[in-house]
Amino acid sequence: MGRYIAVRLGAALVTLVAASMLIFVLLRVAPGDPARLMYGLTPPPDAQLEEMRAALGLDQPLPVQYARYMGAALRGDFGRSYRSHEPVGSMIAERFPRTLRLTLAALVIATVVGVAAGVAAGVRRGSWLDAATMAAAVLGVSVPSFWFGMVLILVFAVGLGWFSVAGSSTWRDVVLPAVTLGISAAAVIARVTRAAMVEVLTQDYIRTARVKGLAERVVYFRHALKNALIPVVSIVGLQMGYMLSGAIVVENVFGYAGMGQLAVYALNTRDYPVIQAVVLVSTTCFILVNLAVDLLYTLLDPRIRYA
Amino acid sequence: MRAFLRTRGAAALLLVLALLALAACGGGSGTGGGDSGSQDGSSAGPAPAPGSGEEKGGTLVIGRTGGVDSLDPARTIAGPAHEVFRLIFDTLVRRSPGGGFEGDLAERWEVSDDGLAWTFYLRQDRVFSSGNPVNADAVVFSFQRMMSPEVPAAAFLGPVQAVEKVDDHTVRFILAEPFALLLDILSTEYFGIVDPAAVEEYGDDFGRKPVGSGPFVLKEWVTGERIVLEPNPLYRTSRSDVENQGPPHLDQLIFREIPQVETQLAGLRSGEINMITGLPAEQAVLFENDPNFRVLRGLGGISIAYLSFGMVPAEDGGVNTFKPPFDDIRVRQAVAHAVDMDTIVDTVLYGYATRNKTPLPTGVFGYDPSLGSLVPDYDPEAAARLLDEAGWTMGPGGVRQKDGRPLAINFWSLNMGSAPQMAQIIQNQLEQVGFDVEITLLDVATYVSQAPTGDLDLEMLDQGWPAPNILNSIVGLGWGVGLYNNPDLLDLLARAQSEADDARRAALYRQAQEVLLKDLALVPMYTATVPLVTRAEVQGIKFDALGGPLFHDAYVAP
């Protein structure tokens, strides 16, 4: 087990280095010079632009730039934003907890709603409840989040006044974006849960349990659900990865000052150090979530062993 | 260090993107040129009006799209940042409501006979919000900081070579050549006076902890979410365009960052925010007749939207030429004839713009509407006739051709605000007279990097700046009309900005515009006024001479 985790973490490191190189090169290949952009439309005198590029370190060859960047990053220094001149590390430290809070809230909503709906639909397969739940699930995955978010804002913030329209500080700010972000994951989780329940319920051990005379409730929740959850856990992990990217849209709709909003702003201004750090942090999260999911398997399914 | 600034003179003038600048400045009214000679600063009104209003107060929450990178004028020229730091810093001089300039931190100023030395006499009673005095040391410190090449706004200072302390309350600007636009430049908040003690204490963090002598101080900044300002208790002013000469009435002034316009609108309706700046025209118009809201307009305009044509750099470094098919002036004239600008202003901009047929914005010194007669009017038949004459005959599919080549052009525009809609209308109208138009819509970052080398035949841009050297910027872009280097024009522009006499300077700017229009190097479109929408309970917002909102008298009725 320990060895397995060590190997996985080693692989994660390789992925991170590859991701950092990729984003480093992609940013510099993409059109748009960060130094030039500081001047708006009208170009500054060439000499001034050169000084600005030198000040940002952009006059160096690409490998030198990368080596410097990684050298500093390994010491925990992600540089300073080209725009605000703040240390990127503290910018991320300010934003990341907000996005984490949003993503976790969305994940909880998605899991609770998704599993409940999936179990209900799976147990009552073929009923109107099943049909209605699955129809809602199709709607849930198809509805664009910027539209759904606006509907929630108009109904619950403008109409009813329960939550705030925008912001990222209080719980009233988090609910609507979390629901918006969680809705499509809830739909996916509901469909997977239903399918797993339907399949598990046909297994021999379920028939045995019923023959023993156990109450249906016990059969569903004690016996069926535990096994049905195995594929659900992996889908929840995957959804969390998607949420990190979905947060970009949702944060912009709700004026939620998280990593997604930072990423958009940094991309528009070609603030390389900020974008690089956002990508690295997101990649790290994605890798860690996947590792956590794989480890969770061993708890849920004793047959799975990692050597 | 100053050498490169001098060589390019004010062609080095940096322009913020008009749409961004407008978000900060609103429209703008006319300003006279810089008054030369000695002049008394305004002394309107007695010292601080008593009682910052017992019942006046409240929290004004402004929703807007843009993010603020830094509140240090030495770090950024971005519009959203300027919109905030203009409330934190005061300048030496400011534009007066009737045109011309009045003293702000400076009480008066004088210019030497050769125009190379400007002396400013500071008011002796002004302090920063920290309590430190605003003195000559602070002014010299502020400008030396701004003259470093790493400062985006540095080139705005044109031929300024040095700023020296004469005595504790007197500073002198030394110029390499006469610069009639100095007061225009010094009145922008990019050259607000900063507290040297705070800069030394906070260093790189000054942009997050700005200290000035302006009406507001920074209370809290939650990055990406809100910037909270509170009245500066030590503030006093002599502004003639506000009643309250002491600290503002408002308890707090909050800038909220909300990227989506739709979310801003929802916030305005729910009351979570009570003012929106920089709203697109098609949204603002919806509030016009609603008694719960108010739509405020700035006074005039400091921006100019125009169409310009692709150009080819001359290989020998000589005079650049227009890129075919626009190398024939009749084809350029056909574009002007084919596009119905009046209708675009009325239907896309809902009248939040003034039709402007000249290269200078309506609110800028040198604006002369009579020059508009040089620009062809909307007349599609005339456009067709001119294209026929130029040898472009109607071919299959309604696309004209000449020597087997179709009249196909690439039309570039920024993908922001109402520009995409306008681009489509222009495309449609050009196609009706036989052009085949392909639209390219790009974000700012991609646009400025690709335009200099891209396949650009026609473009639509909007630039803003409150002084007539906006013309230097328009012809200094590096692509399109920004490659227009007609020596007559460049000579006129150089002479104009060092001409101290208002009438002679106006005449030179008139001639410069004539060169541009007679050659039809660009087709001016309109000058926009960006509306502010507030809830009805927001009272007392006034506008400065450029149409920027003033919050000295503002309060939110309970």
pLDDT (tens digit per residue) in A75-119:
888 888 888 888 899 999 999 999 999 999 999 999 999 999 988
Cα-based distances in Å from B381 to B377, B378, B431: 11, 9, 13
- Tell me the average pLDDT across B335-359: 92
Q: What is the identity of the amino acid at A132? A: A
pLDDT above 90 coverage of chain B, percent:
65
Structure tokens, B457: 């035949």
**The pLDDT of residue A307:** 55
- Tell me the average pLDDT across B262-275: 94
Say whether pLDDT at B170 is over 50: yes
Say whether pLDDT at B400 is over 90: yes
Of A58 and B21, the one with more pLDDT: A58
Q: Which of residues 159-178 of A touch B (CB under 8 A)?
A: 161, 164-169
Are the C-beta atoms of B537 and B319 separated by less than 8 Å? no
Are the C-beta atoms of B476 and B443 separated by less than 8 Å? no
Say whether A59 sits in a helix, a strand or coil: coil
Structure tokens, A229: 């959850």
- Nearest residue, CB atoms, A154 vs list B266, B272, B444: B266
- Tell me the average pLDDT across B134-140: 97
Residue A114 CA to residue B486 CA, distance in Å, equals: 68
Of A9 and B460, the one with more pLDDT: B460
Indicate the burial class of B287 (C-beta count within 10 angstroms; 0-12, 13-18, 19 or more).
buried
Are the C-beta atoms of B409 and B435 separated by less than 8 Å? yes
Residue A72 in domain: no
Say whether pLDDT at B28 is over 90: no
**The pLDDT of residue B40:** 37
Q: For B219, list phi and psi in degrees, rounded to 5.
A: -100, -45
CA-closest candidate to residue B374, choices B555, B486, B218, B523: B523
Q: Which of residues 143-202 of B touch A (CB under 8 A)?
A: 149-150, 152, 154-155
CA-closest candidate to residue A277, choices A62, A8, A104, A82: A82
Q: Which chain A residues are closer than 8 Å to B14 by Cβ?
A: 39-40, 42, 44
Q: How many residue pairs from chains A and B have C-beta atoms closer than 8 A?
A: 167
Cα Rg of chain B, angstroms: 24
The tens digit of pLDDT for each residue in A229-279 reads 888 888 888 888 888 878 888 999 999 999 989 998 898 888 989 999 998
H helices of B187-340, in order, are 196-202, 261-270, 281-284, 329-338
Residue B367 CA to residue B355 CA, distance in Å, equals: 13
ipTM over 0.95: no
Count of domains in chain A?
Answer: 1
Question: Are residues B4 and A46, on separate chains, in Cβ contact within 8 Å?
Answer: yes
Q: Which chain B residues are closer than 8 Å to A47 by Cβ?
A: 4, 149
Residue A151 in domain: yes
CA-closest candidate to residue B328, choices B403, B393, B391: B391
Residue A24 in domain: no
What's the domain range around A254?
95-269
**The pLDDT of residue B12:** 28
Where are any strands of DSSP class E within B258-390?
A: 275-277, 293-296, 303-309, 311-312, 321-322, 353-355
How does DSSP assign B97-149, residue by residue? TTSSEEESSEEEEEE-TTS-EEEEEEPSS-B-TTS-B--HHHHHHHHHHHTST
Structure tokens, B444: 């700012």
How does DSSP assign B89-100, residue by residue? ---SEEE-TTSS
The counts of H helices and E strands in chain B are 16, 29
CATH of the domain at A174: 1.10.3720.10
Are the C-beta atoms of B16 and B80 separated by less than 8 Å? no
Residue A11 in domain: no
Residue A178 in domain: yes
Q: How far is A95 from chain B (nearest CA, A)?
A: 8
Residue A119 in domain: yes
Handedness of CA B197, B201, B206, B211 (dihedral sign): negative
Question: pLDDT band for position B316 (50/70/90)?
Answer: confident
Residue A108 CA to residue A115 CA, distance in Å, equals: 10
Q: Which chain B residues are closer than 8 Å to A46 by Cβ?
A: 4
Residue of A nearest to B463 (CA): A41
Residue A153 in domain: yes
Residue A187 in domain: yes
Question: Are residues A85 and B75, on separate chains, in Cβ contact within 8 Å?
Answer: yes
Residues in chain A: 307
How many other CB atoms sit within 10 Å of the CB of residue A94? 17
Residue A39 CA to residue A37 CA, distance in Å, equals: 5
**The pLDDT of residue B7:** 30
pLDDT above 70 coverage of chain A, percent:
98
Q: What is the identity of the amino acid at B24? A: A
Are the C-beta atoms of A172 and A254 separated by less than 8 Å? no
Query: How remote is the C-alpha of A266 from its chain's centroid?
Result: 19
Q: Which of residues 32-71 of A touch B (CB under 8 A)?
A: 32-33, 36-48, 51-52, 55
Question: Across-strand partners of B64?
Answer: B257
Q: What is the DSSP letter of B348?
A: T
